[in-house]
Amino acid sequence: LDLNGKIVVITGACGALGVAVVNKLCGLGARVAALDIIEPDAAVNCFDAPEGQVSYFKCDSADEVQVAAAFSAITEKLGAPDTVCCHTGIVHVAGVESYTLEDFDELMRVNLRGTFVVAQAATKLWLAEGAQGNLIFTSSWVQDVPWPELTPYNTSKSGMKAMMRGFARELASRGIRANAVAPGIVGAGMALKMYTEDAAYRARTDCAIPLGRLQSPESVANAFAFLVSDMSSYMTGSVLTIDGGCSLYPNI
Ligand SMILES: NC(=O)c1ccc[n+]([C@@H]2O[C@H](COP(=O)([O-])OP(=O)(O)OC[C@H]3O[C@@H](n4cnc5c(N)ncnc54)[C@H](O)[C@@H]3O)[C@@H](O)[C@H]2O)c1
């Protein structure tokens, strides 16, 4: 794969998967605008990419004012992006009976509203410029599986799948494509945190992956590389599931 000349925006870029994706895309030649809420000083050390290939923009992806400002700054610095990855996601773990509505609202704000805000900003930019566009949404295998104690998260990922298909359907005739990556249980980031801290989650996970091992961040990054590349140019409205068979659930 050769991503030279591609300009890619990714939100939630400084998390475990975001960093793997950024490093992979840069390694293949893309220039990347990395957005996250962490301070720029901390973000500088996140990535392992040649000087000048990654530009960091501090931005809450659910805040439309910050997102609009970030897109202006990105366009000015790098040019209009080819691909925008709506990658930010958060999780809270609790049974439905004890899940707080504050956590529910925060999760929906970041996972669903934030995805819409970023995808809409990218769409407006591409339509205004008459440019082709490529949206990538980060969903999850749980978009279709009622994995316990994550019900609002699962719901947000189901909603993201519906949103992705809506963007794909509405915008195909205007040259904008949308697809999703659905990872499984990665041995990094939010899943590793739950796996490490929550015995019930760990017990479920240990028998949930048909391929028998936690997923590598690299395998997620490979899916992004394909979707950013021209090899995926006839693909829209699809979910690229890369989950070690988790979605074949139940597996026992
Ligand atoms: N780790 C997994 O096993 C797994 C599996 C399937 C899907 N996913 C999805 O992959 C994505 C990344 O997961 P991860 O494990 O790397 O998570 P992570 O917790 O390591 O990283 C999340 C990043 O998002 C940033 N962030 C949080 N709120 C933000 C906001 N409002 N605006 C911008 N940035 C914000 C955080 O600062 C952090 O850098 C998420 O969408 C997640 O749902 C993860």
Section 29-37 average pLDDT: 98
The CATH classification number of 7-186+217-238 equals: 3.40.50.720
Distance CA 108, CA 30 (A): 31
Going by pLDDT thresholds of 50, 70 and 90, the confidence category of residue 252 is low
**Mean pLDDT of all residues in 61-75:** 98
Domain ranges for the chain, please list them: 7-186+217-238
Confidence tier at 111 by pLDDT (50, 70, 90) = very high
226 CA to centre of ligand 1 in angstroms: 20
Ligand 1 proximity of 12 Cβ (cutoff 6 Å) = yes
Centre of ligand 1 from the C-alpha of residue 91, in Å: 8
Mutation test of ligand 1: which of 36, 38, 153, 160 has the most ligand atoms closer than 8 Å to its C-beta? 36
**pTM for this prediction:** 0.98
CB neighbour class for 227 (10 Å; exposed up to 12, middle 13-18, buried from 19): buried
For the Cβ of 14 lying below 6 angstroms from any atom of ligand 1, the answer is yes
- 153 tagged catalytic: yes
Residue 145 CB–ligand 1 contact under 6 Å = no
> Alpha-carbon distance 208 to 245, whole Å?
9
Q: What is the pLDDT of residues 123-153, one digit of tens each?
A: 999 999 999 999 999 999 999 999 999 999 9
Residue minimizing CA distance to atom 21 of ligand 1:
15
Q: What percent of the chain has pLDDT over 70?
A: 99
Band the pLDDT of 50: cuts 50, 70, 90: confident
The least confident of 43-57, 63-77, 86-100, 149-163 is: 43-57
Q: Nearest-CA neighbor of 112 among 141, 68, 153, 59? A: 153
How far is the centre of ligand 1, averaged over its atoms, from the C-alpha of 63 (Å)? 16
How confident is the model at residue 26, as a pLDDT? 97
Q: What is the pLDDT of residues 203-232, one digit of tens each?
A: 999 999 999 999 999 999 999 999 999 999
- Gap between the terminal Cα atoms of the chain: 37
pLDDT at 51: 79
Q: What pLDDT, in 10s, does the model give residues 7-24?
A: 999 999 999 999 999 999
